[in-house]
Structure 1
């Protein structure tokens, strides 16, 4: 049996589902949820859910709350400063590295993903925006051939995503971060430095929105 036909273990499926619930803001920061509720929502058994919680707690994406409850951590201004520093260091570098490996077919794929981002913004769909935006960034980053940096970026998004969901819902579709056209233009021009700057600007826009919401008491 090859890798494509081998069944994915149930604990990995449960982990991926819970990770996506956190990443795309289905669990609100600071709102406790019961383990029993997660078992129901994930349609999984106690053991794989507990294992997923253990792994995501170790990754900083969940906090134990006692009484068989967990919660997504709230993003404080101090934590946001740290996340901003690392994201603005790691992710533009990933984009620059990816620029050396871009192919016409990958650029076409990224353009198609960005069409989904644009449709989500026009339609005011925050869930579709978050999923398409994530797909765009990581389709690009995975071309970097820098797996350690990609893993770091994935962990950063787990901590950042829930608060971005709150901010997107607060300010509406017109304010959703999207500097992808600048990035695509740089890709087509073969300008790796411009690609890194475009991704940096895209990330900074989201950070600034969360900072504004924190100042207004909205996160």
Structure 2
């Protein structure tokens, strides 16, 4: 199995081994540490996390059910690749869910929450400057989670995170060659809308952040991959 930069999270109190393995793998997929098309073996993951095969098998089954992985055979799964049409659907789902979550959260965003968001935004910039794409993706998801969780943690946030799972591997591949346009601070309009308590502006800022950032990069990556596949058939 290809080497993966799997970061081992600390085990939480009362957390079972299978929950811990699932949480580690979920974060790794969401932040693009598993590239699209990569076959993943139970034994390979077990060795990386220094655990037995059983909790890995159960975690992988859960991730297949989440749509983050797909079965190849009894011993292997892989991160699915995404075609342009499916990618469009993922982006549309992000925009639909996250604009609602942001609008619902706005009345509850206080100065403390704004400082938290500003700190995470600074972490995103620092990660991109350091060339740490996985950390930048993780911090970007943390920014959006920090914004929505004040009111949308029961139903909307789990749905949003399921969509992120399908997007993370693609974003890691797409973001390897970031252009200057993507380095523009796309969260500045979000902060402006929050300061103005303007729900419509916040929804527009979140939609633009998703569509012009993740949407543009990921869709271009899908087109490039499809072009390579067509060229290989000739």
Q: Tell me if both proteins adopt one fold, taking TM over 0.5 as the criterion.
A: yes
> Residue by residue, what CA displacement relative to the aligned partner does 1:42-71 show, whole Å, maximum 9, x if unpaired?
222211101101110001101111151110
Contact kept? 1:29, 1:74, Cα under 8 Å: yes
- 1:78 shift after superposition: 2.1
Q: How many residues are aligned here? A: 215
Contact kept? 1:177, 1:202, Cα under 8 Å: no
Give the structure 2 partner of residue 98 of structure 1. 105
Aligned CA distance change for structure 1 residues 86 and 72 (closer, same or farther; 3 Å)? same
Contact kept? 2:88, 2:219, Cα under 8 Å: no
Give the structure 1 partner of residue 17 of structure 2. 10
* Counterpart Cα distance in 2 of 1:173 and 1:213: 17
Give the structure 2 partner of residue 209 of structure 1. 217
TM-score normalized by structure 2? 0.86
Give the structure 2 partner of residue 153 of structure 1. 160
Aligned CA distance change for structure 1 residues 176 and 17 (closer, same or farther; 3 Å)? farther
Contact kept? 1:18, 1:42, Cα under 8 Å: no
Give the structure 1 partner of residue 38 of structure 2. 31
> Residue by residue, what CA displacement relative to the aligned partner does 1:127-181 show, whole Å, maximum 9, x if unpaired?
2211110110001111133521111101000001110010001336763575111
Report the RMSD for the aligned CA atoms in angstroms.
Answer: 1.9
- 1:6 shift after superposition: 4.2
Contact kept? 1:121, 1:174, Cα under 8 Å: no
| Range that drifts further, 51-60 or 165-174 | 165-174
Give the structure 2 partner of residue 87 of structure 1. 94
* Counterpart Cα distance in 1 of 2:52 and 2:150: 36
> Residue by residue, what CA displacement relative to the aligned partner does 1:66-112 show, whole Å, maximum 9, x if unpaired?
15111011111121122122111111111111101111101111111
> Residue by residue, what CA displacement relative to the aligned partner does 1:169-203 show, whole Å, maximum 9, x if unpaired?
13367635751111112112222221111111110
* Counterpart Cα distance in 1 of 2:169 and 2:210: 15
* Counterpart Cα distance in 2 of 1:109 and 1:200: 21
- 1:125 shift after superposition: 1.9
* Counterpart Cα distance in 1 of 2:136 and 2:180: 9
Paired residue for 2:114, among 88, 107, 110?
Answer: 107
Paired residue for 2:189, among 164, 182, 190?
Answer: 182
Unaligned runs of 5+ in 2: 1-11, 229-234
- 1:23 shift after superposition: 0.7
* Counterpart Cα distance in 2 of 1:214 and 1:23: 17
